[in-house]
Amino acid sequence: MNNINWGKYSKPIILVALVVALTVLRGTTFLSVGNIANVLWSVSVIGIMVCGTIFVFLLGGIDLSIATLCGFCAVTVVEVIHYFHDSGLGLFVGILAAIAVGALAGLFHGFIITRFGVPAFLVTFASQSIFQGLSMVVTNNKIVSCTAPAAFTAIGSVKILGFPLPIYFMILMALLSWFVLRKTVFGRYVYSVGGNATASEISGINVKRVTIICYVLSGVTTAIGGIILASMTQQAAAATGSGYTNDVITAGVIGGVSLLGGEGTVPGAIFGAVLMGLLNNGLNLLSVPSTQTGLVKGLVIIVAVAFDAMQHADQSRKKVRKVVKKTAS
Amino acid sequence: MKRFSTALAAVMVLTMFLSGCQIQKTVRIDPNPNLGSTSANGETAVSNKVRKDPYTADQIRIAYVAHDLGTPNNQAWLEGIQRECASWDNIQVSAFNGESSAETQVQIMGDIINQHYDAIILQCSDGTALAPSVAQAEESGIPVITLNLDADTVHSALVMAVDYDAGRMAADKMAEQLGGSGKIGIIQGVPGLHRTDNLEQGFRDTIANYSGIEIVEAQSASFEKETAITVMNSFLQSHSDLAGVFCINDAMAEGAALAAESAGKGGQLVIWGADGEKDALAMIESGQMSGTIYTNSWDEGSTAAKIALLMIGSEYSYNVLTQTPQVIMEPIVATIETVGDIAAEDRW
C-alpha cells in the first residue's frame, strides 16, 4: 500500500472527489447533461486560451496581456462585422482580422523578448495597457453590441448533442496543442528550451525562433478565445476578458504547469480549467453565499496545488535516490 | 449673518435651478443649515473658494473622476456633463478613470486638487476611502459633487439614482408579472457596495410581502454578463420550475436572458435588471427581458454639471452645511408597456 504513488494520481483523485461530493450533495442536478455542459461552457474560453499560453509557460515565459488582448480581439471582430453591415462576409473577415491581431501581438512580444532581451513579464505587462488602450480608442470606451449575423451568435451558443459549440472548440484546441507538444519536433524543442535554454542553444535549437512561435501561438488562441467570448455575450468592450489572465495562469498552475518552464501538459492545464469550473458550479449549486465563495475556492485550489507539489517532490526524491545508487555502485 | 444669507440664497437658487430640469428630481437639503461657520466635525472652517463666472470669459476646468469609465453608466454621466458644458468654450471637462480602485481615485483626486480645478464630479469607488480627498478638495475651495455613492464627509452635493426604492419598485412589478407566486433567484453584483446592497435589500424587503414568492437562489456574477450566463444556467439546472430572476444590474440581466434562451426558455421567465441601459431596453421591447428600473444617466451627469457650475459661480461654500444636499433622480419602471415612453434620445 505504501508503494502506491498517490501524488501521481492526484489530479484524477481531486476531480473524482469533487464529482462524488457534488453528486452526493446535488445528485441528479449535478450529473445532468445540461449542468455538465454548463460547467464546460463556462471554462471553454479559459480552456482555449490555456492551450496556447501553455507554450509560453513551458518556455518559462509569461503572457500578462492575454486578458486585454482577448478584449481587443473581441472588439476587432465585432467592429469589423459592423463595418461590413453585419453580414456573413463581415464575420469571415472579422474572424481573420482578430486572429491576425492575436498573431501580430504574439509576434511583437516574441520579437521584443528575443531581440532586446527584455523579460517577458515586462513586455507583456506593458502591452496589456496598449491593447486595453486600443480597445478604448476603437470603441470610444463603450460597449459595442453585436447580435447579427446569426452565424456569429451561433458560435457561442449553438448546441450539438446538448453541448454548446465552444466546448467542441476547446476540445479541438486541446487536441491540437497536445499533438504539437507531444508528437512533433517543435513540441520537444519547447520542453527543451523551457528546461534549459542555454543547453538547447548549444545543441542547435533556434531558441529565438521557438520563443517567437510560442508567443504567436499564445496570441492566436487568445484571439480565438476573444472571438468566442464576444459571440457568447453578443458584445465587446475594452473590459471584455478582464480577469482572464489570472484565470488562465491559475488553470495552468493547478494543472501542474511550472511557471519556471519545462514542465506541464495540456491535459493538466485543461484539468485546471475544468476544476475551476466545477468549483464555481458546485458553489452555485450548493447555494454558497457569494461572501464565502472566495474562501472556499482558495482552500480547494491550495489543496490541488499541494497534491501536485507532493507528486513533484516524490519524483525528485526518486531521481536523487537513483543518482545516489548509481554513484555508489 | 452674511454666511446665512449666502447659504439661504444658494439653497434657494439650487432648488429653483433643479426644478427647471426636464426629468423630475427630488432635492433633499439640510432643512436647518448650520448658520455658523463650523464644519461637520465641529471645527471652524474657512472657505478658500474663489468665485468665478463660468458663463463669461473665466477659464473653468471641471474634473470628472469615474469609478470605471468603461461602464455604460459612467460613460453616460460623462456625456451628460460634456453636453451641459458644450455651450461654453471657456469650460473644459477632463475625464479621469478610477479603474474601479479607490486608491487610484485618491491619487487622481490629489493631482486634481494640486492643479486647482474649479470643480470635481466624482463617483466614489468607496465613500469612506475617498472622504479625506473630498474634504481636502472642499477645503481647497473646489466644490465636489458626488454621483450615486455618497462620500463619508459633508460636501457640496450628491446626485443619485434611487437604490432601495429601485429594488422596491422592481419587486412590486415583478410580483405582479409573476401573478404573486413562483420561485425566483437573485443575481448579485459584488457584495459590500452600498448602492447595490441597498437595491437588493429593497427588493428582498418588498418581495417578502408576497407570501407566494420564494427566493430560492442568490449568487454573485460580479456585475458581468458572461458570468451571469453561467450563474443563470446553474439556477435553471437546480430549479426547473424557476419563474424569474432579479439582477442587480442590466448587464447581468442581459446575460440571464441569453441563458434562458439557450435553455429553450426564452420569454418564459420574468427577468429584471436595474439600470436602464439601451441594450436592456431593446431586450425588453423584444420580449427577452421583462423590465428594468430606468434612470436617465445623461440627465444625471448633466445635473451634476449644472450644480458644479452653480457652485463655481456662487459664494456658496460647503462649510455652511451640516449634511450633504441630495438630488435624487426620478426613476421609470420600464416594462413592455412603458418602455416605448423612453425616447430614443434618452437611451444611453
Q: What is the ipTM of this complex?
A: 0.72
Instruction: Say yes or no for a CB contact (<8 Å) between A157 and B262.
Output: yes
- pLDDT confidence of residue A301: 74
All domains in chain A, ordered by first residue: 6-321 (1.10.3470)
Q: CB B70 to CB A141 under 8 A?
A: yes
Domain check: are B73 and B196 in the same one? Answer: no
Cα dihedral angle (B228, B229, B232, B233), rounded to 10 degrees?
Answer: -150
What's residue B18's pLDDT?
A: 47
| Cell output for B91 | 469650460
Residues 6+ apart with CB under 8 A from B18: B25, B27, B303, B306, B307, B327
Tell me which DSSP letter residue B324 carries.
Answer: -
Q: How far apart (Å, rounded) are the C-alpha atoms in residues B237 and B217?
A: 12
The four Cα atoms B307, B308, B312, B313 give a dihedral, to 10 degrees, of -30
Closest CA to A191 of A58, A312, A315, A61: A58
Please name the residue that has the C-alpha cell 446535488: A26
Q: Is the peptide bond before B325 cis (omega within 30 degrees of 0)?
A: no
Contact A143 B279 (CB under 8 A): yes
In tens, the pLDDT along B226-275 reads 889 989 998 998 888 999 999 999 999 999 999 999 888 888 999 999 98
**Domain around B111:** 2-161+297-330
Question: Any idea what DSSP says for residue A232?
Answer: H
Q: Residue B29 is placed in which grid cell? A: 437639503
Assigned C-alpha cell, B256? 440571464
Phi, psi (rounded to 5 degrees) for A272: -60, -45
Based on the domain organization, do B266 and B318 belong to the same domain? no
- Helices A33-59 and B225-238 meet at what angle, rounded to 10? 140
Contact B23, B138 (CB under 8 A): no
Q: Does B68 touch chain A (CB under 8 A)?
A: yes
Q: Which residues in A190-215 are b (16+ Cβ under 10 Å) and which e? A: bbbbbbebeebeeeebebeebbbbbb
Same domain membership, residue B149 and residue B9? yes
A109 touches chain B (CB under 8 A): no
pTM: 0.77
Is the same domain home to B208 and B317?
A: no
Q: In the prediction, which pLDDT does A27 show?
A: 66
* Euclidean distance between CA atoms A9 and A17, whole angstroms: 12
In the block, cell 486638487 appears at B113
Residues B144 and B69 in one domain: yes
Q: Which three cell numbers stand for residue B311?
A: 457652485
Number of residue pairs across A and B with CB atoms under 8 Å?
75
Q: What are phi and psi of A287, to 5 degrees?
A: 55, 40
Strand partners, B60: B91
Are B81 and B177 contained in the same domain?
no
Cα–Cα dist A37/A20, whole Å: 18
pLDDT for res B42: 47
Q: Note down pLDDT in tens along chain B; length 348 residues.
A: 455 455 544 544 444 444 444 445 555 554 444 433 444 444 445 567 777 787 876 789 999 999 888 888 899 999 999 999 998 888 999 999 888 888 889 999 999 998 899 999 999 888 888 999 999 999 999 999 999 888 989 999 999 988 889 999 999 999 999 999 999 999 998 777 777 888 999 999 999 999 999 999 898 888 889 889 989 998 998 888 999 999 999 999 999 999 999 888 888 999 999 989 999 999 999 999 999 999 999 999 999 999 999 999 887 777 788 899 999 998 899 999 999 999 888 888
Does the distance separating the beta carbons of A238 and B218 come in below 8 Å? no
B87 plus B147 within the same structural domain: yes
Do A131 and A71 contact (CB within 8 A), yes or no?
Answer: yes
Any alpha helices (H) in chain B, and if so which ranges? 2-19, 72-85, 102-114, 127-139, 164-178, 194-207, 225-238, 250-262, 278-285, 297-312
| Together in a domain, B108 and B187 | no
The closest alpha carbon to A177, from A71, A241, A257, belongs to A257
B288 found inside a domain: yes
* Single-letter amino acid code for the residue at A132: Q
Q: Cα–Cα distance between A232 and B228 in angstroms, integer?
A: 11
Q: Cβ B230–A38 below 8 Å, yes or no? A: yes
End of a domain among B294, B311, B343? Answer: B294
Max Cα-Cα span within chain A:
76
**Boundary-marking domain end, from B294, B313, B339:** B294
CB-based contact B233 A289, cutoff 8 Å: no
Does B175 lie in the same domain as B132? no
Number of domains chain B contains: 2
Residue B119 lies in a domain: yes
- Note whether A141 contacts B237, CB cutoff 8 Å: no
Say how far apart CA B247 and CA A234 lie, in whole Å.
Answer: 18
* The three grid cell numbers given for residue A314, joined into one nine-digit string: 516524490
Residue A10 is predicted with a pLDDT of: 67
User: How far, in Å, are A101, B252, B320 from residue B172 at the CA level?
Assistant: 48, 20, 40
Q: How far apart are CA B81 and CA B121, in angstroms?
A: 9
**Partner residue opposite B234 with nearest CB, options A38, A145, A234:** A38
- Residue among B67, B235, B237, B245 with most chain A CBs within 10 A, to mutate: B237
Name the residue among B20, B23, B85 with its Cα closest to residue B276.
Answer: B23
Q: Name the residue of chain B whose CA is nearest to A289's CA.
A: B219
B110 and B218 together in one domain: no
The count of C-alpha atoms lying within 13 angstroms of the C-alpha of B240, restricted to the half-sphere facing its C-beta, is: 5
Name the nearest CA neighbour of B278 among B75, B22, B69, B23. B75
Of B219, B261, B279, the CB nearest to A290: B219
Same domain, B146 and B218: no
Give contacts of A289 with chain B, Cβ < 8 Å.
218
Measured between CB atoms, does A32 come within 8 Å of chain B?
A: yes
> In DSSP terms, which residues pair with B177 in a beta bridge?
none
Taking the C-alpha atoms of residue A275 and residue A273, their distance in angstroms, rounded to an integer, is 5
pLDDT at B23: 45
Q: Which of A283, A279, A321, A268 is nearest to A301 (CA)?
A: A279
Q: Please indicate, yes or no, if residue B345 is contained in any of the structural domains.
A: no
CATH number where B180 lies:
3.40.50.2300
Please identify every stretch of chain A with a pLDDT value under 70, giving residue numbers as ranges: 1-12, 26-28, 308
Q: How far apart (Å, rounded) are the C-alpha atoms in residues B236 and B241?
A: 8
Considering the domain boundaries, does residue B344 fall inside one? Answer: no
**What distance in Å separates residue B338's CA from the closest CA in chain A?**
23
